[in-house]
Amino acid sequence: MTDIVIPARKPARPFFSSGPCAKPPGYSPASLAIQSLGRSHRAKIGKTRLQYCIDLMREVLQLPDTHRIGIVPGSDTGAFEMAMWTMLGARGVTTLAWESFGEGWVTDAAKQLRLDPTVIRADYGQLPDLAQVDFADDVLFTWNGTTSGVRVPNADWIPADREGLTFADATSAVFAYDIDWSKIDVATFSWQKVLGGEGGHGVLILGPRAVERLETYTPAWPLPKVFRLVSKGKLAEGVFKGETINTPSMLAVEDAIFALEWAKGLGGLKGLQARSDANAAALDTIVADRDWLSHLATDEATRSKTSVCLSVEGADADFIKVFAGLLEKQDAAYDVAGYRDAPAGLRIWCGATVETQDIVDLGPWLDWAYATAKS
């Protein structure tokens, strides 16, 4: 082991976790506006900051006025389950699953809501046959599979004249890819992914067809208070104007505002995408130069540019645990082991808050950890 040379240069910011993700460069808690802290979220200042956060998300995402944005409890999971519990059951349901979180929505639809969904699956690293999807159903899918490194290539497979609603878990996709919002009726995400924000809050985006569903359909099951989006048969519009269903953390809101203002300074969506693309390209170069390292997602057209999942030759879960532990002990890379339910491997976040030079500097450390773990 003493013959294995430790690299001389470390990533300056070794934060490669796929959620919560690296904070934006230059971030400091001291940078946050604090006037809203300690104030009611229903006071003028609280409502103003919440609305400003919503307005910034719309601007950076280039979201059309046809779609509403609401801040809701429970992170991306809470937002997606809110959508499922309030809108599903009006027609058949098709769920797509090629990674852990997609499987979670299958469980919710089948075992909790008991809807007998059509399930279209693929193994980790693969994408299901999208041509099999019947859009007479409501369709649930993850835009970017955070735990498999596989994404849908675009929205071309979704017809404009669909009968059912499309529900996109887009938590590691928004701010990183172009999304055709005319094809998405419901989308959810959390700030903790591409924006590097804090956890605990979800964002729910509703298109006009989703609003129509909410106002014309009542589910057969009871809805907890935090899921209720309709009052007296009409959409609770206040939820989409900063009047949150439950008390939000204004500290987390200010944190998200910092990240969104940082994103605007980069040029908005295109600036965020350019940084993520550069990071993914740098990691691609590292993978291509090593015969013991490969992408779990074999098709480049459907390979994630944010949550990049890698296979390590001959590795099992114990080996990866040692591998990742070595990197963390050296403060060279944090949280790079693959998701617990995924095949044993590495997962390296390449979203916009990561610096490309840190990806480049990670390469020699992967060599060192691999050699050290093998020895």
Residue 132: give its domain's CATH number: 3.40.640.10
Tell me how far apart the alpha carbons of residues 139 and 88 are, in angstroms, rounded to a whole number: 10
Sequence-distant (≥ 6) Cβ neighbours of residue 134 within 8 angstroms: 92, 94, 118
Asked if residue 23 belongs to a domain, the reply is no
CATH of the domain at 342: 3.90.1150.10
Summarised one tens digit per residue, pLDDT across range 286-335 is 999 999 999 999 999 999 999 999 999 999 999 999 999 999 999 999 99
Distance CA 334, CA 356 (A): 16
Cα–Cα distance for residue pair 160/4, rounded to 1 Å: 57
Domain, as residue range, for 149: 29-264
Q: Do 225 and 280 lie in a common domain?
A: no
Q: Are residues 168 and 279 in the same domain?
A: no
Q: Judge whether 182 lies within some domain.
A: yes
Same domain, 279 and 258: no
Same domain, 280 and 242: no
Answer yes or no: is 307 within a domain. yes
Residues 106, 188 within the same domain: yes
> Tokens at residue 60, please?
């950076």
Residues 6+ apart with CB under 8 A from 2: none
User: Does residue 2 fall inside a structural domain?
Assistant: no
Residues 207 and 80 reside in one and the same domain:
yes
Q: Are residues 106 and 212 in the same domain?
A: yes
pTM: 0.96
pLDDT in tens, 51-69: 999 999 999 999 999 999 9
Given this model, what pLDDT does residue 43 score?
Answer: 85
The answer to whether 10 touches 362, Cβ cutoff 8 Å, is: no
- Render pLDDT for 336-366 as a digit per residue (tens, 0 to 9): 999 999 999 999 999 999 999 999 999 999 9
Domain tally, the chain = 2
Q: Which of 264, 279, 311 is the last residue in one of the domains?
A: 264
Spatial distance between the Cα atoms of 124 and 134, rounded to a whole number of angstroms: 23
Helix or strand (DSSP H, E) at 254 = helix 250-265
Are 183 and 166 within 8 A, CB to CB? yes
In this structure, are 295 and 339 located in the same domain?
yes
356 lies in some domain: yes
Residues 233 and 296 in one domain: no
Of 242, 264, 286, the one marking the end of a domain is 264
Question: Which pLDDT band holds residue 2 (cuts at 50, 70, 90)?
Answer: low
For residue 281, tell me if it sits in a domain: yes
Shared domain for 272 and 259, answered yes or no, is: no
The domain boundary residue, chosen from 244, 264, 284: 264
